[in-house]
Structure 1
Amino acid sequence: MEKLRNIVPGDNSRPTEIPPGDSNIAYYGRWDRSDPGYYHSYWGGAYLKVRFTGTSVKINLNKSTSLLVNIDNTGDKLFHNVNGTVNLTPDELLPGTHSIKVAAQYDEMELVFQGLILDPEAETLAPLISQNKIVEFIGDSITTGADNPNGDGDAFAWLASDLLGVEHTQISDPGIALVDGYGSSPSGMETAYFKLKTPNYTTTNSDWDHSTYTPAAIVVNLGSNDHYSNIDPALFQSRYIVFLTNLRGKYPDAEIFGLRLFNGWFETEVQNAVEARIVAGDAKVHYVDTAGWLQGYGTTTTVDYVQKSTGFSVHPSRLGHSKAAKQLVPILKPYLNLPFTQQQYP
């Protein structure tokens, strides 16, 4: 497929405009690409990646948002509450080839992406790895990195993926429960997961096309908001089994991991649900015992959880997310069969 560019013939002084449909841009997460003029991301942490030449890059946005931007793997930089044409390189880059990753900071910070602007005669380049593996994380505010400065970018899901050298998606939303009718979201993840948009879209929300990408692994971290809603543990367990079954129906070959909640809620029920699927013949579903990963839940002195003036929080701190990511990586890695060169992307 030929790369799309918008250059005036014979004019070497005009910036190079790169539209959303440029074939060298890789998209991760749930994006609506039905309008060629802009691509709209849904669910927090959705991102795009591309390599480019030149010394500068700008992004065109059609909605106010907050961005996490990582150029040349130098770390995430937050661009807060930006819109329109945004200069992502206020400090000019050295001439050469660069990489960029642009993400939505948080669950309601969607990207309405209208393209990039590069230097005159600059261009985008194909990724060094064209088929990078994807790990999908399904969760609530914990998986979105709530109460941390970079939001999704501080979450264990993001950090573990970076450590593994894989791509990822964060299908997570604050307040959401597993079971419909519980939690603060209009629907539980048992329904919302199968939709293009988050539960915040209560009127028009089409089904997600699960053939768009195929995760190599899926990590489920759900139950906190079911707990807050006083669900019957037996009901939670039965619906967890159904959810795992429905995930398997969409992704027959994915390795699926059910995490014990970091603070231990529904430990027995999650483990029982995973065991039920194994007994049913699913050899690619696994229970992850997170006991001991984080310390001090429910205390006002712990450094592993966010401290609030209103009391203790269920949300891990930056340190807590980092600890959880480092514990999760060696569990996932044997199932991903990663080549050494995986670390070199993009």
Structure 2
Amino acid sequence: MKYFIGILLLFVGHMLHAQERFVSAGHEAFYYSGRVDLSQSDVARFDWPGVSVNFQFTGETLDLCLNGGERNYFNVFIDGLLHEVMHVPADTVYPVRGINGQGWHSCRIQKRTEGEMGMVVFKGVHLEKEAQIRSVEHQQWRKIEFIGNSITCGYGTEGKLPEEDFLPETENINKSYAFIAARAFKAECYVTAHSGLGVVRNYGDKEPISTKLATLPNRYHQVFDMDTSLAWDFSQWQPDAVVINLGTNDYSTDVAPEKSVFVQRYLRFIKQLRDCYGDIPVFCVNGPMRDEPAYSNVKEVVEIARSVYGDKHIYFIGIPASLLNKSSDLGSDYHPSYRGQLKMARHIIPTIANVMNWEFDDSEYEALSY
């Protein structure tokens, strides 16, 4: 009897599989936004926050094939709307249900969490047997890269109280100021950010210069945040502008780098960006979790770059700590909540718009009250 049931299950599984169409991760229909390794043609690997898989398909059935890792979470958007938050702790086939309509649908799978939460291996999708798949229609012609730490990662944006300890499920890069600003400008957004990292010194380091754990500039050239094995090819994607928000962790505790060391290392990182991207606008942001001396030191970096090195396309944007209301604008571990991130975005968007001569849509935060 058990033998018969086993044969029956194998037969049913075969029949169900025969009614599906598998499309592997290397198919031309998949558009990957963010740093992704496609060296193995049948899988896509990535770990930076905000990396997304984008495509269009027909039918009402969609199964995602991936290994998301125990601590990663994903936003799944169907037809431009958040459909669900996905957690795929092991290698599996994840069914997306409740898709209505037989016409073309768009899908975006976005990594909510940062690199420290683990590597993602995306293998492809199962569609209905007669379904079609194609690449998304690109309406975003602007490109912005955001470089930063936990603030940029959207750390704790969905936490209810500042006293809450951080949990991976409360981190949502889509609610960080980076993606809010990108949406306002209708721009594609790459994020290279990692919680706790600085320019010279990482959070909690007992030494003024971190050596045990790589700082953000020291891992910036990598395809992966947490894996040093592959170097990123910067010719693959060239932004129109770069926004940097670093310095908070350098001055997070009493042990801090000398001002001269911080300034020189930051200037060295600017040169690194210039080597990668040329003379595009770079916006150096400070705040809102740390004020002085980070505020003045980042501003001095910009002034030296302009006056000493003749860099006329570098700009300072200071976000004061007083911008955030402690009773309404903070999420987990006293980081900006979504409301706090909206305030940050509203603070930086006009400066970027003025420099870039870009119009913007402020509808996401226009009703925000202080």
Per the alignment, in what secondary structure is the counterpart of residue 73 of structure 2? strand
1:178 to 183, 186, 199: 199
**Whole-Å separation in 2 of the counterparts to 1:45 and 1:167:** 11
Query: TM-score by structure 2 length?
Result: 0.78
User: Aligned pair in 2 of structure 1 residues 20, 181: CA closer, same or farther (>3 Å)?
Assistant: same
Contact map agreement 2:288 2:320 (CA 8 A) in 1: yes
Q: CA deviation at 1:18?
A: 1.6
1:95 aligns with 2:102: yes
Aligned to 1:71: 78
Offset from partner CA, 1:103-123 (integer Å, 9 cap, x none): 112112442110112222212
Does residue 323 (structure 1) correspond to residue 336 (structure 2)? The answer is: no
SS in 1 for 2:48: strand
* Aligned CA distance change for structure 1 residues 97 and 268 (closer, same or farther; 3 Å): same
* Aligned-partner Cα distance in 1 for 2:296–2:56: 46
Aligned length: 317
1:71-103 deviation line (CA, Å, top 9, x unaligned): 111136311244411112x21321211111111
Q: What does residue 189 of structure 1 align with?
A: 216
SS at match of 1:43: coil
Name the aligned partner's letter for residue 344 of structure 2.
Answer: A
Which residue in the other structure is 1:16 paired with?
21
Are positions 1:56 and 2:58 aligned together?
no
Given that 1:30 and 1:43 are in contact with CA atoms closer than 8 Å, whether structure 2 keeps it comes out as yes
1:104 paired to 2:111: yes
- 1:232 matched residue in structure 2: 258
Listed as ranges, the gaps of 5+ residues in structure 2 are 1-15, 158-169, 206-211, 361-370
Counterpart pick for 2:229 among 178, 190, 205 = 205
**One-letter amino acid of the structure 1 residue matched with residue 102 of structure 2:** P
What whole-Å deviation, never above 9, does each CA across 1:224-276 have from its counterpart, x for those lacking one?
11112422223212211111121111100422110022142411111111121
Query: 1:151 maps to what in 2?
Result: 172
SS at match of 2:297: helix
Residue 138 of structure 1, aligned match among 142, 147, 152: 147
Range moving further from structure 2, 63-72 or 241-250: 63-72
Structure 1, gaps ≥5 residues long: 1-10, 341-346
What RMSD over aligned residues (CA atoms) do the two structures have, in Å?
2.6
Shift of 1:38: 0.7
Tell me how far apart the structure 2 counterparts of residues 243 and 325 of structure 1 sit (CA, whole Å).
24
Residue number among 175, 184, 192 corresponding to 1:163 in the alignment: 184
Per the alignment, in what secondary structure is the counterpart of residue 151 of structure 2? coil
Matches within 5 A, 1:231-270: 231-263=257-289, 264-265=291-292, 266-270=294-298
1:31 is displaced (CA, Å) by 0.8
Counterpart of 2:318 (choices 289, 302, 305) is 289
Quick one: which amino acid aligns to residue 54 of structure 2? K
Which has more helix, going by share of residues? 2
Give TM-score scaled by structure 1 length.
0.83
Structure 1 match to 2:331: 306
Residue 336 of structure 1 deviates from its aligned partner by 4.7
Instruction: Report how far residue 12 of structure 1 moved.
Output: 12
Contact kept? 1:15, 1:120, Cα under 8 Å? yes
Shift in Å at residue 37 of structure 1?
A: 1.8
Would you say the 8 A contact 1:180–1:189 is kept in 2?
no
Q: Does 1:86 align with 2:94?
A: yes
Q: 1:37 to 1:188 in 2, by over 3 A?
A: same
Summarize the Cα distance change of 1:56–1:329 in structure 2 as closer, same or farther, 3 Å threshold: farther
**Which string of whole-angstrom CA distances, capped at 9 and with x for unpartnered residues, describes residues 127-149 of structure 1?**
32277332111011111111232
Structure 1 residues 33, 261: CA separation in 2 closer, same or farther (over 3 Å shift)?
Answer: same
Q: CA deviation at 1:337?
A: 5.8
1:180 Cα deviation after fit: 5.9
Q: Which residue of 2 aligns with 1:117?
A: 126
State the identity as a percent: 25
CA shift in 2, pair 1:101/1:183, >3 Å: farther
Residue 140 of structure 2 contacts residue 186 of structure 2 at CA under 8 Å; is this kept in 1? Answer: no
Q: How far apart, in 1, do the equivalents of 2:343 and 2:119 lie?
A: 28
**Alpha-carbon distance in structure 2 between the residues aligned to 1:21 and 1:133:** 25
Corresponding residue for 1:40?
45
